[in-house]
């Protein structure tokens, strides 16, 4: 039971309750067929997701980080190559680059959009740059066309990190269909989430898709013939069955997120201490509704006391994480990302949040924000 005095940051049980009569029989069928590894439901989901995105090929893999890593490997990225990633993202983006042996090069983000852009990426592009990985952070599409022009001018590959943007559109096309390839995550709390780990690569390039199919299964092409050293990163058949049941609801759920965002924006607009997320010119699908406040910690604490759970996406930019110290970037190198990370606070945002819950978040913010 949900406690009426608390507003959760996200509540995944509600989606399950809404779909349990579809999901449980599908899961049971997999168990009866026992095709747990790359079974029928994986093919079925790959086809459905490719069609949804408007791409030729979708390849299901073990998680979103592997999707990015395997896409980069399939592009031939490796030691000696540079790959540009934003300083404000989840660590999986840079980790994927490091795993290929290539050198990640960070780019700052824009203050209003919180995203990398041509203006922030171009200054760090060198002759060694082989790819850029723009991230549609919080579900807001990057301004893709100028980035694509840069890539075409400099003969660079473009891999979208679409892990937070399932279903968002950029100038009429789905995010994930815009670059040479895209990586998706189906981590449970994403806009399209599995009941465990999952991920996928989307691409129009048949050779890239084939290469990822090999790499995700130990480089095997036919049984016992391994043509490349790959890894084990297959989308689990049970997860594919769950995802196939959830995919038809994605657009509706994203619309509910937009509705919550519109209401938040309208009802919070009179509080000068809060900087609300800019919806941007494209179709934002609000994986995260991240406000900014100069004393974010105090605000989060005051909200917590009133039963409102919040999150931070993300509190520390990539270059200030201990794991990436050896890249040599230091405080001050990406001032916009640093500033944003110090101020962000993510409000409760999930499709089946009620209006009453949303009103309680607004009410609490009115009491504590100033
Ligand atoms: C979630 C996420 C990933 C990676 O996803 P996993 O499935 O957890 O490996 C990559 N990039 C971004 C921006 C993400 O939010």
What is the 3 state secondary structure string of 33-46? HCCCECCHHHHHHH
Q: What is the DSSP letter of 123?
A: G
Report the pLDDT averaged over residues 180-192: 98
Q: What is the tens place of the pLDDT at every residue in 340-356?
A: 999 999 999 999 999 99
Report the pLDDT averaged over residues 99-127: 98
* Neighbouring residues of 277: CB distance < 8 A, sequence distance ≥ 6: 114, 138, 140, 261, 284, 289, 290, 291
Report the pLDDT averaged over residues 193-215: 98
Q: What is the tens place of the pLDDT at every residue in 46-91?
A: 999 999 999 999 999 999 999 999 999 999 999 999 999 999 999 9
With a 6 Å cutoff on the Cβ, whether 187 touches ligand 1 is yes
Could you count the other beta carbons within 10 Å of the beta carbon of residue 95? Answer: 17
Tokens for 123? Answer: 């200054």
pLDDT at 51: 98
Distance CA 152, CA 289 (A): 33
For residue 1, pLDDT over 90 is answered with no
pLDDT at 369: 85
Report the pLDDT averaged over residues 271-282: 95
Overall pTM > 0.95? yes
- Closest residue to atom 14 of ligand 1, CA basis: 163
- Which helix (H) or strand (E) segment holds residue 169: the answer is strand 169-170
Atom of ligand 1 nearest to the CA of 287: 15
Ligand 1 midpoint to CA 148 (Å): 22
Distance CA 202, CA 71 (A): 9
pLDDT at 2: 64
Ligand 1 midpoint to CA 64 (Å): 5
What is the chain's alpha carbon radius of gyration, rounded to the nearest angstrom? Answer: 21
Ligand 1 midpoint to CA 257 (Å): 19
CA dihedral 301→303→307→310, nearest 10 degrees, is: -80
Atom of ligand 1 nearest to the CA of 66: 9
Cα–Cα distance list, 147 to 13, 142, 182, 296 (Å): 39, 9, 14, 32
Atom of ligand 1 nearest to the CA of 96: 10
Distance CA 249, CA 18 (A): 11
Report the pLDDT averaged over residues 333-337: 98
Ligand 1 midpoint to CA 267 (Å): 31
Residue percentage of the chain with pLDDT more than 90: 97
Tokens for 93? Answer: 């983006």
Distance CA 15, CA 13 (A): 6
Report the pLDDT averaged over residues 117-134: 98
40-53 and 13-33 helices cross at what angle (nearest 10)? 130
In sequence order, what E strands does 270-362 have?
289-292, 344-347
Tokens for 361? Answer: 């978040």
Cα–Cα distance list, 251 to 74, 76, 197, 283, 303 (Å): 30, 34, 21, 12, 30
With a 6 Å cutoff on the Cβ, whether 125 touches ligand 1 is no
Residue percentage of the chain with pLDDT more than 70: 99
Q: From edge to edge, which strands make up the β-sheet containing 129-132?
A: 57-61, 199-203, 181-185, 157-161, 129-132, 82-86, 103-107
* Neighbouring residues of 21: CB distance < 8 A, sequence distance ≥ 6: none
Ligand 1 midpoint to CA 284 (Å): 18
Distance CA 189, CA 311 (A): 12
Report the pLDDT averaged over residues 206-214: 98
Transcribe 334-352 into DSSP letters.
Answer: SHHHHHHHHHEEEEP--TT
Tokens for 151? Answer: 């890539």
Atom of ligand 1 nearest to the CA of 199: 7
Is the omega angle on the peptide bond into residue 314 within 30 degrees of 0, that is, cis? yes
Beta strands 181-185 and 157-161, pairing class = parallel
* φ/ψ of residue 80, rounded to 5: 95, -20
Distance CA 120, CA 124 (A): 8
Q: Half-sphere exposure of residue 278, counting CA atoms within 13 Å on the CB side?
A: 11
Report the pLDDT averaged over residues 251-255: 98
* Neighbouring residues of 255: CB distance < 8 A, sequence distance ≥ 6: none
**Mean pLDDT over the full length of the chain:** 97
């Amino acid at each position: 039971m949900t406690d009426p005095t608390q507003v959760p940051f996200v509540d995944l049980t509600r989606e399950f309750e809404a779909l349990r009569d579809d999901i449980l029989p599908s899961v049971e069928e997999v168990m009866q067929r026992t095709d747990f590894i790359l079974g029928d439901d994986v093919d079925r989901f790959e086809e459905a997701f490719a069609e949804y995105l408007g791409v030729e090929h979708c390849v299901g893999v073990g998680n979103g980080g592997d999707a990015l890593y395997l896409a980069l490997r399939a592009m031939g990225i490796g030691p000696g190559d540079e790959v540009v990633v934003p300083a404000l993202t989840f660590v999986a983006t840079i980790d994927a680059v490091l795993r290929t042996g290539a050198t990640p090069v960070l780019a700052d983000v824009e203050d209003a959009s919180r995203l990398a852009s041509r203006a922030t990426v171009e200054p760090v592009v060198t002759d060694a740059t082989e790819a850029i990985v723009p991230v549609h952070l919080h579900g807001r599409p990057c301004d893709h066309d100028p980035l694509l022009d840069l890539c075409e001018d400099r003969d660079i590959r473009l891999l979208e990190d679409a892990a937070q943007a399932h279903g968002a559109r950029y100038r009429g096309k789905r995010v994930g269909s815009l670059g040479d390839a895209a990586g998706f995550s189906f981590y449970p709390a994403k806009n399209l989430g599995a009941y465990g780990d999952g991920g996928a690569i989307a691409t129009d390039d048949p050779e890239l898709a084939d290469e990822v199919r090999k790499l995700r299964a130990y480089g095997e092409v036919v049984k016992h013939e391994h043509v490349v050293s790959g890894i084990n990163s297959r989308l689990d058949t049970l997860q594919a069955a769950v995802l196939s049941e959830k995919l038809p609801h994605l657009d509706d759920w994203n619309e509910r997120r937009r509705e919550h965002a519109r209401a938040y924006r309208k009802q919070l607009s009179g509080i000068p201490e809060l900087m609300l997320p800019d919806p941007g010119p494209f179709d934002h699908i609000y994986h995260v509704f991240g406000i900014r406040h100069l004393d974010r910690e105090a605000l989060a604490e005051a909200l917590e006391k009133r039963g409102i759970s919040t999150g931070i996406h993300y509190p520390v930019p990539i270059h200030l994480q201990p794991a990436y110290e050896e890249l040599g970037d230091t405080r001050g190198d990406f001032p916009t990302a640093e500033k944003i990370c110090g101020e962000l606070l993510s409000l409760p945002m999930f499709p089946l949040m009620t209006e009453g819950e949303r009103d309680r978040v607004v009410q609490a913010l009115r009491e504590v924000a100033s």
